[in-house]
A and B are shown apart, each in its own frame.
Chain A
Amino acid sequence: MVPFSETLVRLWQLVSGGQFIPQLIDSTVLFLTGFLIALVIGMPLGLLLARVRVLRVGIEPYIMILYATPMVALIPFILSLMGFGFVPKVLVVFLFAVFPILYNTVEGARSIKPELIEVAKSYRSSEWALWREVMLPYTLPYTMTGVRQAIGRALVGMVAAEFFLSSTGLGQLIMGASQNFDTGGVFASILIIGLIGVGLMRLGLKIEQHFARWRN
């Protein structure tokens, strides 16, 4: 153990020293790339599954399985197939993030009352109007629950990729401190990642609540 004061001193050294900002940017780029790809693929796919019932019934169990699989277990394969570059790390973040989005979107799609679609159809609503007025408003709150979960998971994926693939970013900060038995430095880095985690969690909740205002 180290006293808290020493942790704060190390924290100040980290932040004021030149190494922190580049590492933070590195991690941010990795996080955002993986997360955005997950969003761009997960959301439309989820909505498509919401609309096309046969596809949904077919794919649903597999999404549920992948959602429940600890994705970390795939990291050794990704490492040995794709090596140490940026792309495999993005893949890890993507894999962590995409399934909560998909899983929750499909869950939302299941909750659409068939009558709503039937009524819309019997008023000869166009496909586009059906999507805009029924499908999207109904599934978006669920998708956003998935987005919140995905933010948390993507953060884990980011650190896991930085630990077990090539060591970069905030993960490297922790690893470096730990290898030097610099407990204060480890604490300081954990504190930083913890604060980022809390901030992202807040953001996720805000996003979720914004879209869930009229759920129920």
Chain B
Amino acid sequence: MTESTMNASLAVDAARDGAAISERLRTRVMPRVLTGLFILLAWEFVVRALAPAYVAKPTTVIAAIPRVIVDPVFLRATGATLAAVAEGLVIALIFGTIIGLLMGRSPSFERGIRHYVNGFYAVPMIVVLPLFSLWFGYSGVTRIATIIFAAIFSIIINVADGARSVPREYLEVARSFRSNRLSMLTGIVLPSSMPYLLAGVRLAAGRALIGAVVAEFFISVGGLGYYILYNSRSYHHNEAFVGVLLLAAFGVSFELLVNWATRRFMPWYRRDEKTS
């Protein structure tokens, strides 16, 4: 290929890329931006027309953002909630994975606890709060316990599903090479249930976040949920709403992170209904 034809083909590629980008702009980005603007405008208009002045609306919330994100109270609250969610999730992940693997690979263990796991999963997590606050007092322990309770069952259920669906041949090959149970569990069952585990984590993270906020509402322990509650009670709705935005951002980034990880590390796995 001579240099001139190469340049020509590069130019064609560039032109095609340019066309693709402008096509994407027209069909994807534009509708999204316009819809966003429309939502913001409608919200602003409705609140200005109908609601009292303290109610959060886009302009005042945006004005509050620079003030709030440097406020040490807000930063401490965010840190406290995130630390609790992370701690609870890690605990739920460790124990949930162990219990899930055992459930998936041991029929007798599964028969024993299946109904309890499904039952606890179906209990709206919020009802345990009064009980936990009696047991653990009005402290951070109650929050961690609520987060673990909210998160662990979706991990157990998904990991057990994954462990059950390991192709039989893998295990047979491993067995004929005389590998022991533990190395089969860690070497075959765990890696092959990874996509399920990730789906479980995606669910668990969302539930953990809800658990943390609800616990903070209920027992008034310092954190983002309590920050929102406190500020909205004292008619600082704009400040409180910045907290809601941050929570939404956490929720969305968990979701995106897990989706990205699934695509990046397990491209063969199509995300489907095995997510709840």
How many residue pairs link A and B with beta carbons under 8 A? The number is 136
The distance in angstroms between the C-alpha atoms of A61 and B217, with both chains bound, is 28
Known: A149-B276, A163-B218, A198-B118. Contact between A68 and B55, CB under 8 A?
no
Q: Is the CB of A187 within 8 A of B39?
A: no
Give chain B residues whose Cβ lies under 8 Å from the Cβ of A159.
124, 126-127
Known: A64-B252, A69-B244, A186-B130. Contact between A75 and B206, CB under 8 A?
no
B134 within 8 A of A: yes
Q: Is the CB of A72 within 8 A of B251?
A: no
Q: Is the CB of B247 within 8 A of A145?
A: no
B15 within 8 A of A: no
Give chain A residues whose Cβ lies under 8 Å from the Cβ of B214.
72, 160
CB of A104 to closest CB in B, whole Å? 9
Q: Is the CB of B247 within 8 A of A58?
A: no
The distance in angstroms between the C-alpha atoms of A61 and B34, with both chains bound, is 12
Give chain A residues whose Cβ lies under 8 Å from the Cβ of B32.
57-58, 60-61
What is the predominant secondary structure among interface residues of chain B facing chain A? helix
Give chain A residues whose Cβ lies under 8 Å from the Cβ of B251.
65, 68-70
A197 within 8 A of B: yes
B210 within 8 A of A: yes
Identify the closest chain A residue to B272 (Cβ).
A216
Known: A73-B213, A76-B233, A77-B56. Contact between A193 and B248, CB under 8 A?
no
Interface residues of B in 17-51 (CB under 8 A from A): 27-28, 31-32, 34-36, 39, 51
Which of B170-178, B179-187, B235-243, B261-269 is the contact stretch?
A: B235-243
The 9 A-B residue pairs whose C-beta atoms are closest, nearest first, are A178-B130, A58-B31, A58-B35, A68-B251, A76-B232, A197-B122, A69-B248, A201-B122, A156-B124
Enumerate chain B interface residues (CB-CB to A < 8 A): 27-28, 31-32, 34-36, 39, 51, 55-56, 118-131, 133-134, 206, 209-210, 213-214, 217-218, 225, 228-229, 232-233, 235, 237, 240-241, 243-244, 247-248, 251-252, 254-255, 273, 276
14 A-B pairs whose Cβ atoms sit less than 8 Å apart in the complex: A62-B36, A70-B247, A70-B248, A73-B228, A77-B237, A80-B232, A80-B235, A80-B237, A145-B273, A175-B130, A178-B131, A187-B131, A190-B123, A198-B119
Q: A66-B248, A77-B237, A159-B126 are in contact. List 5 more A-B contacts (CB 8 A).
A: A55-B31, A69-B244, A149-B276, A178-B134, A193-B127
